[in-house]
């Protein structure tokens, strides 16, 4: 047993020497180095267990599905945020819109799912929190500046919908724009449920509330700009906060209300792509905040 322990300690030492910068290793005690290795080993083991649990669930789903179409349309996946490395090449429609669109990088099984399930364009996928599986929501204030909006989102969502950016994510992973992470309260490597969905109604009206009043003041034809930028969203989810870029400035909008065609009933999600959808601007959150502050001041002045 002592010999085995010594061999294990030797392996630990060699691994630490290989993976630790010389400047750090030379100034760190053996016990501290072993502690560093133990932390790294535990983190790797936890990650392996997490990936295995996802893989086991998906394998069971595939094995018990009634047919191939059902087997490929549903997965549990580990969520990671999209970044600029996923930006399509210049000339491709989604270039420059990794964070200002609803496109996600999906694993390859969702590509044959389209044909096997006779899915119509736009192809839509829901991303959902899983009760008792997805970790506790991340507080809004804990997100990095790239994901922070001027105002806190309207509400915490359990499900959002979007389209495919590509189908090259690793088998047990999905990569999402930051606004989806924020809407669902996710942290990297949270487990989510992803499904090909075919029940989203075409939209007839989207009521959006800008965060900043500058959108309508700085842009000559905001309605036209909005309709152009909205093409980078395949669908909208009521209660989400989405972004558009114009002249190198980012503008945020709350999706306040959605109505479906042809009867105009309210819906939690609607298609935007290939739809004759009207958009309606509500007073900005900045205007609403100023109005509230002015009313408060007026009330205080009357009391004095």
Which CATH number do you get for residue 86? Answer: 2.40.40.50
Measured from the Cβ of residue 153, the count of other Cβ atoms closer than 10 Å reads: 17
User: pTM for this one?
Assistant: 0.84
Q: Which residues contact 151 (CB under 8 A, 6 or more apart)?
A: 211, 252, 254, 285
Residue 176 falls within a domain, yes or no? yes
Judge whether 131 lies within some domain: yes
Q: How far apart are CA 197 and CA 270, in angstroms?
A: 12
| Helix ranges restricted to H, 73-192 | 110-116, 178-184
Domain that holds residue 279: 203-291
18-41 pLDDT, tens digit per residue, is: 455 545 555 667 777 677 777 787
Same structural domain, 190 and 72: yes
Q: Which of residues 274 and 38 earns the better pLDDT score?
A: 274
User: How confident is the model at residue 146, as a pLDDT?
Assistant: 52
In terms of domains, do 177 and 220 share one? no
pLDDT tens digits for range 142-191: 666 555 566 777 778 999 999 999 999 999 999 999 999 999 999 999 99
Number of separate domains in the chain: 2
Render pLDDT for 80-132 as a digit per residue (tens, 0 to 9): 999 999 999 998 888 999 999 999 999 999 999 999 999 999 999 999 999 99
Range name among 169-173, 192-196, 198-202, 229-233 with the lowest pLDDT average: 229-233
The neighbour count for residue 276, using CB atoms within 10 Å, is 8
Q: Which residues contact 287 (CB under 8 A, 6 or more apart)?
A: 213
Q: Which two tokens stand for residue 111?
A: 């590509």
Domain end position, chosen among 171, 197, 223: 197
Which string of DSSP letters, residue by residue, matches 205-241?
EEEEEES-THHHHHSS-HHHHHHHHGGG-SEEETT-E
Highest mean pLDDT: which range of 135-149, 197-211, 213-227 = 197-211
* Residues forming beta bridges with residue 128, ordered by sequence position: 159, 193
Domain termination residue (choose one: 177, 197, 217): 197
Asked whether 86 and 170 are in contact (CB, 8 A), the reply is: no
- What average pLDDT is seen over the chain? 86
- Token pair in block for residue 46: 């936890």
Backbone angles phi, psi at 15, to 5 degrees: -65, -40
On whether the CB atoms of residues 183 and 41 are closer than 8 A, the answer is no
User: Do residue 62 and residue 156 come from a single domain?
Assistant: yes
In a domain, 276, yes or no: yes
Q: Which residues touch 67 (CB under 8 Å, ≥6 apart)? A: none
pLDDT at site 138: 87
- Please determine, for residue 219, whether its predicted confidence score (pLDDT) is greater than 90: no
């Amino acid at each position: 047993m002592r010999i085995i322990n010594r061999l294990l300690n030797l392996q630990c030492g060699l691994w630490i020497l290989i993976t630790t910068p010389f400047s750090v290793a030379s100034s760190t005690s053996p016990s501290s180095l072993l502690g560093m290795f133990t932390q790294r080993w535990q983190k790797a083991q936890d990650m392996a267990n997490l990936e295995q649990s996802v893989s086991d669930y998906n394998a069971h789903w595939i094995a018990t599905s009634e047919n191939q179409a059902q087997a490929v349309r549903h997965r549990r996946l580990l969520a990671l945020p999209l970044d600029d490395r996923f930006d399509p090449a210049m000339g491709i429609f989604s270039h420059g819109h990794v964070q200002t669109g609803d496109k996600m990088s999906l694993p390859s099984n969702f590509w044959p799912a389209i044909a096997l399930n006779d899915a119509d364009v736009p192809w839509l996928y829901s991303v959902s929190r899983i009760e008792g599986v997805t970790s506790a929501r991340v507080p809004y204030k804990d997100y990095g500046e790239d994901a922070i909006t001027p105002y806190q989102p309207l509400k915490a969502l359990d499900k959002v919908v979007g389209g495919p950016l590509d189908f090259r994510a690793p088998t047990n992973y999905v990569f999402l724009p930051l606004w989806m992470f924020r809407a669902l309260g996710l942290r990297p490597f949270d487990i989510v449920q992803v499904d090909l969905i075919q029940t989203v109604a075409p939209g007839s009206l989207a009521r959006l509330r800008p965060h900043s009043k500058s959108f309508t003041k700085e842009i000559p034809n905001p309605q036209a700009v909005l309709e152009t930028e909205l093409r980078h969203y395949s669908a909208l989810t009521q209660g989400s906060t989405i972004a558009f870029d114009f002249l190198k400035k980012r503008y945020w909008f709350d999706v306040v209300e959605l109505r479906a065609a042809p009867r105009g009933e309210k819906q939690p999600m609607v298609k935007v792509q290939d739809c004759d959808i009207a958009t309606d601007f509500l007073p900005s959150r900045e205007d609403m905040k100023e109005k509230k502050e002015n009313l408060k001041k007026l009330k205080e002045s009357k009391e004095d």
